Amino acid sequence: MTPTLAAHIPGILAPEFEADPYSSYSLMRDEAPVYYDDQLQAYVLSRYADVARAFKDPAFTNRNYEWQLEPVHGRTIVQMDGREHATKRAIVAPSFRPKVLFGQLAPIIETNAVRLVDEFVARGGCEYSSEFSRLYPINVTADMMGLPVEDLETFRGWYTAIIDFLGNLTGDEDIAAAGIRARDAMAEYMLPIIADRRENPGDDLLSTLCTAEVDGTRMSDEEIKSFASLLLTAGGETTDKVLTSLVAKLVEHPDQLADVRRDRSLIAAALAETLRVAPPLHMVMRQTAEEIDIAGTSIPEGSTVICLIASANRDPATFAAPDCFDIHRTDVDAAREFSGASKQLAFVHGRHFCVGSLLAKQEVEVGINVLLDRTSDIRLSEGFVPVEEGVFTRAPRRLLLDLTPAT
């Protein structure tokens, strides 16, 4: 018998779920760790052990991305497997290694952070999400790719439409159509630039991808465009949301904010803990290549499986006091959380561990350092309470802060 969700547990599309997914996650882990969602036509996993297995076991494939990501991004490395995946990842990965991030990209990242922070600190306050976290990652990515600053507003429009498409769990036709239009416009914009970089390479990321090869294999123009689309949108969206969630968590825990201000090495721990307790991406999908037994439930071959990252990251079987934000927790090692040895699952596990994890870490560390350098105090605006929003991706939509400039 196919397990279903009991009536007292709000499912993923229920309004009560979006208002408080963490209560649903707790009930799912306890009562329905594997169940079938009729509306989403997918099996849902909520326990850490099961989600981690789905990320590592080759019986869980990325074939779902053929209909989930490919319509707006094209075919990217996240849906490749085997030798193809290994080769294309080997082409991309060197651009995201520490030597590059802490070397040639460091000035790009810091310049963008300083420019945005300096605009609002002098005013003594900001709406942090719209004035910093939504702008900063996509600005950095555009600079990395050598794209003109005057086109940033266009990129943000594509970014919004494609992110809405990816989170369109209800299948809204207008949202789907807007995503497809953004895909076509981005392709029309990017492909001539990629062709030009092949003929006239520079020192930007697009040029690097155009000229790099592994075992005689290069990325095609279409593959580079698809990777650029993925980096601009999926990478930008997750960094955007974790930046907002991280600052929200710290200002809600002023003792921990004070600790970070005194010891900047704790920024990495604060980021790792935010990724655990409030990951920007709450769920990812996989597709089974064969019939699989999970927790006594048989999942047929070809099934879509929704892996609830945010639930797994709060599983009490894996983390102590899992609902508490604690940058000093001893059951997570921040030094490992941005590599394939991570414990929290926000970057996924296994062969598809996020290639941009160190870029996200570098952007967050630089951005938070600049914010702390420019201020002596950061607090929530009087009467304001951050409220998380979203189902597929999630973070406070607004974060009103009062700031005291550093003297």
**pLDDT(267) > 70:** yes
Lowest mean pLDDT among 171-180, 333-342, 386-395: 333-342
Buried b (16+ CB within 10 A) or exposed e, 287-315: bbeeebebeebebeeebbbbbbbbbbbbb
Q: What is the pLDDT of residue 37?
A: 95
Q: What is the pLDDT of residue 287?
A: 94
**pLDDT(379) > 90:** yes
What's the Cα-to-Cα distance from 276 to each of 38, 201, 292, 322, rounded to whole Å? 28, 40, 27, 9
At a CB cut-off of 8 Å and minimum separation 6, what does 196 contact? none
Residue spans of beta strands (DSSP E) within 173-301: 283-288, 292-294, 297-299
User: What letter would DSSP give residue 291?
Assistant: -
Please, what is the end-to-end C-alpha distance for the chain in angstroms?
67
Summarised one tens digit per residue, pLDDT across range 381-397 is 999 999 999 999 999 99
- The pLDDT of 207-215, averaged and rounded, is 85
**pLDDT(104) > 90:** no
At a CB cut-off of 8 Å and minimum separation 6, what does 261 contact? 372
Q: Regarding the domain with residue range 15-405, which homologous superfamily does it belong to in the CATH classification?
A: Cytochrome P450 (1.10.630.10)
What's the Cα-to-Cα distance from 229 to each of 73, 148, 380, rounded to whole Å? 6, 16, 34
Q: What is the pLDDT of residue 76?
A: 73
Tokens 């999970």, residue? Answer: 294
- The pLDDT of 239-261, averaged and rounded, is 97
- The pLDDT of 12-35, averaged and rounded, is 97
CB atoms within 10 A of CB 382: 7
CB atoms within 10 A of CB 195: 12
AA identity, residue 20: D
What's the Cα-to-Cα distance from 388 to each of 26, 142, 235, 270, 282, rounded to whole Å? 18, 27, 19, 18, 12
**pLDDT(398) > 90:** yes
**pLDDT(97) > 90:** no
**pLDDT(326) > 90:** yes
Buried b (16+ CB within 10 A) or exposed e, 110-147: bebbeebbeebbeeebbbbbebbbbbbbbbbbbbbbeb
Q: What is the mean pLDDT of the chain?
A: 90
What whole-number distance in Å separates Cα of residue 134 and Cα of residue 219?
29
Summarised one tens digit per residue, pLDDT across range 128-173 is 999 999 999 988 988 888 988 788 888 888 878 888 887 788 888 9
- The pLDDT of 107-132, averaged and rounded, is 95
Q: Where are the domains of the chain?
A: 15-405
